[in-house]
C-alpha cells in the first residue's frame, strides 16, 4: 500500500471500462460460472477454410455465483447482499471539517490518510461495496493528492466520441477503450495469453485494527472464505480464470469483442486472433518452470507460444496458424458486457 502511494504509475493497472466491462453491484461477465478445474471442450476455428474443430483441455469454471462486479467489499456480508440492502452514503456527505484528523493524534503527517479521522475512515468502509467505477471515488477520497497526480497521466473510462479532440491527449493512449487502432486493414492483431489458473478478481476488505499514525486503514480480510470445496472465495480474495496475475477479461476482451470486426475502436476492421495457452504445471523439478506453463511470466518459456510467435514473425497469417484457439469462456463473457462497439 505504501509502495502503491509513491509509485503513481501503478494506477494504470486499475481496470478500465468501469461497470460497463467489469460489472456493477449485482452483475458481472463471470456470472453463473464455476470455480474449479474441469474438462471442457476447446473452440478452435480457421475463418479461411470455414472449419471448426475441438479438443479437451483443463480450464476453470466458476462454481459460486460471486458478485465479481464488487471489486472491493468491506466484509463478506457486503459481498453477498443485494444492492438494495447496501448503504448508499456518499463521500459528498462528509464536510471538509469532518475529515480532518485530530492534530493531537497525528502531529507529523507523512501520508494522506493520516489527515482523515478514524471515524470517517471507518464510515467510508462500513458495510459497503465498490465497483470498478466507485472504487476510484474511494481512492480519491482517501488519497486525493495521489489521484490528482495519477489522473493527469491515466484514464479508465470509455470514449463516447473518439473524434473528440480531447482523446489526442497522451493520458488516453494506454486505454484501448478511449483510443482507436490505426487505419490499417492489412494489419493483424493477436491476443496471446495464458489461462486456466485461479487469478485474483475481487477482494473483501476490513478496517485495520492498527490505530496509529501512518498505518494502512484498510486490509484484506484473510479470514473470509466460502467454506466449500472448489469455491472461488479464499482468504478474502475472489478468484476467476486467468494467468495467475491478469484475469481473463483483461487479457482477451479486446480481441474477443472490442476490436472484433469493424468497430469504433477498430475502424478498418483489422482481423484479430485469440490464441490461448492452457496451464500445465511442470511434471517434475527437472522441467524448471515447465514447457507448457501459462503462468504470467513463465509463459515466456511455453513451447506453443514460442512456436506461434516465431511463425508470425516469419510471415505466417492468423489463418495459417489455425485461427482462434480458445479454451476459456472469453467469448461468452465478452458478449455479456454492456459495451456498444
pLDDT tens track for 160-182:
999 999 999 999 999 999 999 99
Query: Could you give the residue ranges of the DSSP H alpha helices within the chain?
Result: 2-6, 18-22, 76-80, 118-125, 134-142, 144-150, 248-253, 303-313, 318-321, 330-336
Q: What is the C-alpha to C-alpha distance for residues 177 and 183, in angstroms, rounded to an integer?
A: 16
Q: What is the C-alpha to C-alpha distance for residues 33 and 263, in angstroms, rounded to an integer?
A: 28
Q: Are 251 and 243 in contact (CB under 8 A)?
A: yes
Q: Which tops the pLDDT comparison, 91 or 16?
A: 16
The pLDDT confidence band at residue 264, using thresholds 50, 70 and 90, is very high
Q: What is the model's pLDDT at position 145? A: 83
Q: Are 177 and 162 in contact (CB under 8 A)?
A: no
Inform me whether the pLDDT recorded for 102 exceeds 90: no
Phi, psi torsion values for 103, nearest 5 degrees: -65, -20
Provide the 3-class DSSP secondary structure of residue 8. helix
Q: What percent of the chain has pLDDT over 70?
A: 77
pLDDT digits (tens, 9 = 90+) for 73-89: 999 999 989 899 988 75
Q: What is the model's pLDDT at position 204? A: 95
pTM reported for the whole predicted model: 0.85
Inform me whether the pLDDT recorded for 197 exceeds 60: yes
The pLDDT confidence band at residue 208, using thresholds 50, 70 and 90, is confident
Q: How many helices (H) and strands (E) does the chain have?
A: 10, 11
Q: Checking DSSP bridges between strand 272-278 and strand 189-195, what pairing results, if any?
A: parallel
Q: Are 228 and 82 in contact (CB under 8 A)?
A: no
The pLDDT confidence band at residue 51, using thresholds 50, 70 and 90, is very low
Q: What is the model's pLDDT at position 119? A: 75
C-alpha cell at 333: 463473457
Amino acid at each position: 500500500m505504501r509502495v502503491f502511494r509513491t509509485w503513481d504509475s501503478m494506477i494504470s493497472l486499475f481496470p478500465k471500462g468501469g461497470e460497463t466491462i467489469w460489472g456493477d453491484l449485482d452483475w458481472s461477465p463471470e456470472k453463473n460460472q464455476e470455480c474449479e478445474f474441469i474438462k471442457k471442450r476447446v473452440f478452435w476455428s480457421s475463418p479461411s477454410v470455414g472449419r471448426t474443430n475441438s479438443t479437451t483441455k483443463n480450464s476453470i469454471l466458476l462454481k459460486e455465483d460471486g458478485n465479481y462486479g464488487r471489486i472491493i467489499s468491506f466484509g463478506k456480508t457486503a459481498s453477498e447482499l443485494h444492492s438494495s440492502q447496501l448503504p448508499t452514503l456518499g463521500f459528498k456527505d462528509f464536510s471538509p471539517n469532518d475529515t480532518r484528523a485530530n492534530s493531537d493524534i497525528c502531529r507529523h503527517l507523512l501520508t494522506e490518510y493520516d489527515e482523515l479521522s478514524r471515524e470517517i475512515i471507518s464510515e467510508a468502509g462500513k458495510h459497503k461495496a465498490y465497483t470498478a467505477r466507485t472504487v476510484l471515488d474511494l481512492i480519491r477520497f482517501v488519497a486525493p493528492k495521489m489521484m490528482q497526480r495519477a489522473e493527469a497521466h491515466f484514464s479508465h473510462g470509455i470514449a463516447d466520441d473518439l473524434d473528440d479532440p480531447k482523446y489526442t491527449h497522451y493520458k488516453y493512449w494506454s486505454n484501448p477503450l478511449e483510443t482507436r487502432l490505426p487505419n490499417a486493414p492489412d494489419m493483424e492483431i493477436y491476443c496471446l495469453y495464458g489461462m486456466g489458473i485461479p487469478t485474483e478478481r475481487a477482494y473483501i476488505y476490513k478496517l485495520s485494527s492498527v490505530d496509529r499514525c501512518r498505518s494502512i486503514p484498510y486490509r484484506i480480510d484473510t479470514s473470509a472464505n466460502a467454506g466449500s470445496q472448489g469455491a472461488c472465495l479464499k482468504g478474502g480474495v475472489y478468484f476467476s480464470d486467468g494467468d495467475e496475475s491478469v484475469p481473463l477479461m483483461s487479457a482477451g476482451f479486446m480481441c474477443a469483442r472490442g476490436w472484433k470486426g469493424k468497430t469504433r475502436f477498430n475502424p478498418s476492421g483489422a482481423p484479430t486472433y485469440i490464441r490461448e495457452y492452457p496451464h500445465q504445471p511442470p511434471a517434475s523439478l527437472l522441467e524448471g518452470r515447465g514447457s507448457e506453463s501459462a503462468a504470467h511470466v513463465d509463459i515466456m518459456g511455453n513451447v506453443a507460444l514460442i512456436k506461434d510467435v516465431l511463425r508470425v514473425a516469419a510471415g505466417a497469417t492468423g489463418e495459417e496458424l489455425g485461427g482462434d484457439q480458445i479454451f476459456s469462456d472469453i467469448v461468452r463473457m465478452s458478449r455479456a458486457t454492456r459495451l456498444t462497439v
